Chain A
Amino acid sequence: MTEQPDIRSKRLEPDEIAANFSDLHPALSRSEALIEADRCYFCFDAPCTDACPTGIDIPAFIQKIRSDNIKGSARTILSENIMGGMCSRVCPTEVLCEEACVRNTHEEKPVEIGLLQRYATDPLIETGQQLFARAAPTGKRVAVVGGGPAGLSCAHRLATLGHDVVIFNRDEKVGGLNEYGIAAYKTVNDFAQNEADYILAIGGIEVRNNCALGADVSLTDLRNEYDAVFLGIGLGRSNDLGIDGEDKDGVVNATDYIAELRQAGDLSELPVGRTVVVIGGGMTAIDIAVQSRHLGAEQVHMVYRRGPENMSASAFEQALAQTSGVTIHHRAPPKRILGDEHVTGVEFDADSGKFVLYADVVFKAIGQHLNGIEGPATENGRIVIDGWHRTSLDRVWAGGDCVIDGDDLTVTAVQHGKLAAIDIDRHLGEQ
């Protein structure tokens, strides 16, 4: 156990890395989109729409693609989900709209709703053409804390309704997990920033980056200075394993490494372990495992304490990991981290008995928790809200991953921001 850890950059040639991090699902061409749109049956009271957390009228937007009315199609999408572009890339459509598609009944090949949504929305983000205009100014000011999907969605809807918004964002850039968390091959060509720029271009939204709640601004001040406050602060902290040796070098939070990866100018410069062990069974675990392989890690093990049926990563994501060369182990809780100063391996206490996996790097990806907040009531580490996203505090709303029914999906966060904005608007109108 005295070997030096094998961690280095440039494990692959730049063109291999470029290929590994290219678009996971390439965009549809016009003719592909027209043919795919023709497959939509234009269902009555469509099950796909019911399955969409933001309730996009999917048959309607597909019908508009079919008739070559791309702008109208985008309007249908964005009026319910201003992040329709990102959601078309990152939504687990296989368990949402596409799972509900009636075509699954006889042919197990749903309409490619995600790719069609991307086809309809990409041109707008590229050209920057705005489809929505702001209503007359109301003179009301709303503080939105957090520049992630929930915050941007809320801010956009409020700005559209005529309110002035200030976004207090902890990071250097807006976008939240779209910018810092999602796997790079799902959002190529800086799409997250381009989409955020598009959303902000509606006007009436001031962004204050590097401004964290608690450290740089207090909730009390915001409540005093603004007519309403929306909290879309996500889950700031990664969960610990709570086992011996967790503090050794080379044991890293997956989210930290992914954030570094997403901001890296040259992916081939990132240090990568030869053998990587990922602990966890969710999307983040899949993302770090697959991206480690794509950066050139020779062996990547993803170890989950329960069975495949309990994994929050979808079947598609699990398959993606496996075809990327990730070995998935089930029902194996970690027992302790091995090594002196630097990690050398992990011992697991599996149902079938103990075993050890050698590791140059260990990634922790077992979820995150709320970065302690003073004020609103919480439960199980998340903010308690009602049906309209009101917290226990007067004039404070919340949504996204930080609330009690957050499910760690971009699309859900967008819906939360939208619903809260609608309720805030209603509230401000009654004042």
Chain B
Amino acid sequence: MADLKSTFLGIESPNPFWLASAPPTDKAYNVNRAFEAGWGGVVWKTLGEEGPPIVNVSGPRYSALHSNERRVIGFNNIELITDRPLQTNLDEIRQIKRDWPDRAVVVSVMLPMNEEAWAKHLPMIEDTGADGLELNFGCPHGMSERGMGAAVGQVPEYIQMATEWAKSAAKIPVIVKLTPNVASILPPAKAAQAGGADAVSLINTVNSIMRVNYDTLTMYPTTGGMGTHGGYCGEAVKPIALNMVAEIARTRETSALPISGIGGITNWRDAVDFLALGASNVQICTAAMVYGFKIIDDLADGLSTFLDDKDMALDELIGKAVPSVTDWQHLNLNYVEKAVIDQDLCIKCGRCHVVCEDTSHQAITHTVDGERRFEVIDDECVGCNLCVSVCPVDSCITMKQVSDDNDAALAWTDHPNNPMRNTESE
């Protein structure tokens, strides 16, 4: 079995799977159970400044987007940072690190925008023996109304300022956790880097309202009849997170910034996605909150088996797919694929036909010589992959390259239809 031992910013853990800062890491009881189950590390649920504890709502904090078999596809929450006294958390962190010296214990922190607060609290946390700090600039609900969380993460200047305060107050590594509720993830990532961050972690949750209540026609869920937007997470957000991770990993200025990947990771393949697109380790919350800590078994076993099959070390996987990500303008417009339907596998449901006919290019038959038969009309097929996407049978429709690899590539940057094309060669 491939060794999954991971080192992130010098912080060692037996595998690259950390529990993200969230309810599963709110107290020693949960964290002990997580480590017993085999998790590599935790990011302790966000600590705030010393003083009266945070107050949470006592109505619904969570809601879910379900499939018909009630599989949780997306998840949303309005829970705030830890509502336990600071000292209780510090004492438990100290004990946990003592009891589990081989596991990573990073502490998430959210503080007001004044340097004194950072200078005061970070040494208290560091004193527990914690391995690192994660600055929560991401929570989109509640705390952001008080000028923290996403309210900081959406303003690069604030990110840089707070990161600088954290770096000057702390000796252990500082990870800046980014919010996806921005137009581009690059300015916040660059600001974190400019502020001296040792790494970034992303994504935090996405602003969201789950749905309405069809009986009362109010938003759902509500607390005493009123509701507020929450943070969206779970499998549904993974593609959003992957794009942001890849953006940071493939941009020259930020490419050296280590990334802890977060966002909808549910099984080992999701982890492969994040690692290959540039994350050095991953953090997980929703899947654990949906299935419990036992999922670490599949995550670790699956990743290890995958690395064995690829004859690859964990480090070699990290960033492996990043060179394949580029801007649209660099895609080769002379490359041509067409869909091919395997008639032996086809079950004749006709989904490919109707979606192509109704919404795309009228490139799939429904009848051939009087028989129900679905075939691609090559002259009409633009290779869009819609039929492949909707076909219920795995591998029944595939895309086949019809252009010649020896043909010259032609990107939009050089395309004759592009008035802004490169003209140096002309």
Given contacts A35-B69, A37-B68, A38-B67, are A45 and B350 in contact (CB under 8 A)?
yes
Interface size of B as a range: 10 to 19
Interface centre among A44, A45, A106 (most CB of B within 10 A): A44
Contact of B393 among A35, A43, A46, A106 (CB under 8 A): A106
Chain A proximity mask over B26-60: 1 for CB below 8 Å, otherwise 0: 00000000000000000000000000000000000
Contact of A44 among B70, B345, B353 (CB under 8 A): B353
| Cβ-based interface call for B373 (8 A) | no
Given contacts A44-B354, A44-B366, are A106 and B68 in contact (CB under 8 A)?
no
Question: Closest chain A residue to B396 by CB distance?
Answer: A106
| Cβ-based interface call for B347 (8 A) | yes
| Cβ-based interface call for B182 (8 A) | no
| Cβ-based interface call for A96 (8 A) | no
Chain B proximity mask over A73-111: 1 for CB below 8 Å, otherwise 0: 000000000000000000000000000001101100000
Chain B proximity mask over A153-197: 1 for CB below 8 Å, otherwise 0: 000000000000000000000000000000000000000000000
Chain B proximity mask over A27-39: 1 for CB below 8 Å, otherwise 0: 0000100110110
Contacts of A38 in B (CB 8 A): 67-69
Contacts of A105 in B (CB 8 A): 347-348
Within 8 A of A (CB), among B349-395: 349-351, 353-354, 366, 372, 392-393
- CB <8 Å contact, A34 and B347: no
| Cβ-based interface call for A42 (8 A) | yes
Output the least CB separation between B380 and chain A (Å).
17
| Cβ-based interface call for A53 (8 A) | no
Contacts of B366 in A (CB 8 A): 44-45
- Bound CA–CA A19/B189 (angstroms): 68
| Cβ-based interface call for A41 (8 A) | yes
Question: Closest chain B residue to A32 by CB distance?
Answer: B69
Contacts of B67 in A (CB 8 A): 38
Contacts of A46 in B (CB 8 A): 350
Given contacts A44-B353, A44-B354, are A103 and B68 in contact (CB under 8 A)?
no
- CB <8 Å contact, A102 and B69: no
| Cβ-based interface call for A5 (8 A) | no
- CB <8 Å contact, A41 and B68: no
- CB <8 Å contact, B347 and A106: yes
Contacts of A106 in B (CB 8 A): 345, 347, 393
- CB <8 Å contact, A41 and B69: no
Output the least CB separation between B377 and chain A (Å).
16
Output the least CB separation between B353 and chain A (Å).
5
Contact of B69 among A34, A43, A45, A103 (CB under 8 A): A34
Contacts of A34 in B (CB 8 A): 68-69
- Bound CA–CA A66/B67 (angstroms): 10
| Cβ-based interface call for A271 (8 A) | no
Question: Closest chain B residue to A41 by CB distance?
Answer: B349
Contacts of A43 in B (CB 8 A): 348-351
| Cβ-based interface call for A47 (8 A) | yes
Question: Closest chain A residue to B345 by CB distance?
Answer: A106
- CB <8 Å contact, B347 and A66: no
- Bound CA–CA A102/B392 (angstroms): 11
- Bound CA–CA A43/B349 (angstroms): 5
- Bound CA–CA A35/B345 (angstroms): 24
Contact of B347 among A31, A45, A103 (CB under 8 A): A103
- Bound CA–CA A102/B353 (angstroms): 15
Contacts of B68 in A (CB 8 A): 34-35, 37-38, 66
Given contacts A34-B68, A35-B68, A66-B68, are A42 and B348 in contact (CB under 8 A)?
no
Interface centre among B67, B69, B349, B354 (most CB of A within 10 A): B349
- CB <8 Å contact, A44 and B69: no
Question: Closest chain A residue to B358 by CB distance?
Answer: A44
- Bound CA–CA A35/B69 (angstroms): 5
- CB <8 Å contact, B347 and A44: no
- Bound CA–CA A46/B349 (angstroms): 7
- Bound CA–CA A44/B364 (angstroms): 12
- Bound CA–CA A353/B354 (angstroms): 58
Contacts of B348 in A (CB 8 A): 43, 47, 102, 105
Question: Closest chain B residue to A38 by CB distance?
Answer: B68
- Bound CA–CA A45/B347 (angstroms): 13
Output the least CB separation between B10 and chain A (Å).
48
Contacts of B372 in A (CB 8 A): 45, 47
- Bound CA–CA A46/B372 (angstroms): 11
- Bound CA–CA A42/B390 (angstroms): 11
Contacts of B70 in A (CB 8 A): 31
Within 8 A of A (CB), among B337-352: 345, 347-351
- Bound CA–CA A233/B366 (angstroms): 42
Output the least CB separation between A205 and chain B (Å).
36
Output the least CB separation between A163 and chain B (Å).
38
- Bound CA–CA A323/B270 (angstroms): 47
Contact of B349 among A35, A37, A66, A102 (CB under 8 A): A102
- Bound CA–CA A276/B68 (angstroms): 48
- CB <8 Å contact, A44 and B351: yes
Within 8 A of A (CB), among B278-305: none
Contacts of A37 in B (CB 8 A): 68
Contact of B351 among A31, A35, A42 (CB under 8 A): A42
Within 8 A of B (CB), among A38-61: 38, 41-47
Contacts of B354 in A (CB 8 A): 44
- Bound CA–CA A198/B33 (angstroms): 58
- CB <8 Å contact, B350 and A44: yes
- Bound CA–CA A296/B345 (angstroms): 48
Interface contacts beyond A34-B69, A106-B393: sample of 8 additional A-B pairs, CB < 8 Å, sorted by A: A31-B70, A41-B351, A43-B350, A44-B354, A46-B350, A47-B348, A103-B347, A105-B348
12 A-B pairs with CB atoms under 8 Å apart are A31-B69, A34-B69, A35-B68, A35-B69, A42-B351, A43-B349, A43-B350, A43-B351, A44-B349, A44-B354, A46-B350, A105-B348
For the complex of A and B, 9 pairs with smallest distance between CB atoms:
A44-B350, A44-B354, A34-B68, A105-B347, A102-B347, A43-B349, A41-B349, A38-B68, A35-B69
